[in-house]
Amino acid sequence: MAEQMRTITYRDAVREGLREALQKDERVFLMGEDVGRYGGCFAASKGLLEEFGPERVRDTPLSESTFTGAGIGAALGGMRPIVEIMTVNFSLLALDQIMNNAATYLHMSGGLFNVPLVIRMATGGGKQLAAQHSHSLEGWYAHIPGIKVLCAATLEDARGMLWGALLDPDPVLLFEPSVLYAMEGELAVDAGAVDIAGARLHHEGRDLTLITYGSCLYKCLDAAEQLEVSGISCDVIDLRSLRPLDEESFFTSVAKTHRALIVDEGWRSGSLAAEISARIMENAFYELDAPVERICSVEVPMPYAKHMEEAALPQVKTIVETARRMIHG
């Protein structure tokens, strides 16, 4: 029997995941700025206050450090909080709580106290939100021991990653690319929780490995389709988990294709792409027929003007041109 599908947006898939978590476990609650009466900055929690009440869907003051700290305390007290931070740049106001408290508590308590906290936040450019609201800082957080870092690129992951994150005994940061909230697609009627460990191969090829995550997944898939027409076939890997990295997924692919191109919306210097490149060089050097290459955002504050923002971000055309050069010289 064919699987029943329905058309849904990314933001609605996120809301379904939130609703399922609130229904399944009375310890779960959502807290953050405007998550209740306003329905969330990106409308992901719209209607949940009316459905679950103000004890389970809590509007907070405009103080990221305060409500993230409250989430850590609630997790230590046996609750399963979901803390929403509007956009990743605002998470810097809670960085002390995330890095010095949530990430270290298990270690500093000698393994006695876990912090089962999930922090959700929007990330990335492409929405003309200018320099202060268009950061891609997932790579920064992937640098920190003691937390897991996830990025949901697909409707399936937007719907299903949250429950897996809530089951984890340690802090999980779940990034949602803001440019994808309005994305519409097909999702199974019975879609539910997904395994949060491991990357996913979305397109299979023989000539080149494209490694990416988040909204750049769709740029890589578009590039792979264009390259296929000219006789170049690509593996396209969605990392999904940025810490820990499923490095075996790209090691295995590189052993087949012998070339790797990493597409990362973060800035190039000190990027997640740099880390992946180093791991391939360290562990799969003799599988390579060409140097690993990277496409990242231009190292400037994100411009507001649409044409300039597009010029700053990785684009399909650049992926295609780089891939052709890597194959044909």
Q: Which residues are catalytic?
A: 64, 133
CB 100 within 8 A of CB 129: no
Q: Closest by alpha carbon to 132, among 281, 304, 314, 320?
A: 304
Q: Could you tell me which residues are beta bridge partners of residue 201?
A: 237
Q: Report the alpha-carbon distance of residue 122 to residue 135 in Å, rounded.
A: 9
Rounded CA Rg of the chain: 20
Q: Which residues contact 264 (CB under 8 A, 6 or more apart)?
A: 136, 139, 212, 213, 216, 271, 272, 273, 294, 295, 296, 297, 314
Question: H or E stretch including 280?
Answer: helix 272-284
Match 């996120």 to its residue by tokens.
14
Q: What distances in angstroms separate CA 230 from CA 101, 182, 294, 324, one per listed residue? A: 51, 32, 22, 9
The 8 Å CB, 24+ separation contacts for 58-62 are: 58/29, 58/30, 58/31, 58/32, 59/31, 59/32, 59/33, 59/34, 59/35, 60/31, 60/32, 60/33, 60/35, 61/33, 62/33
Q: Could you tell me which residues are beta bridge partners of residue 33?
A: none
Q: Report the alpha-carbon distance of residue 139 to residue 271 in Å, rounded.
A: 6
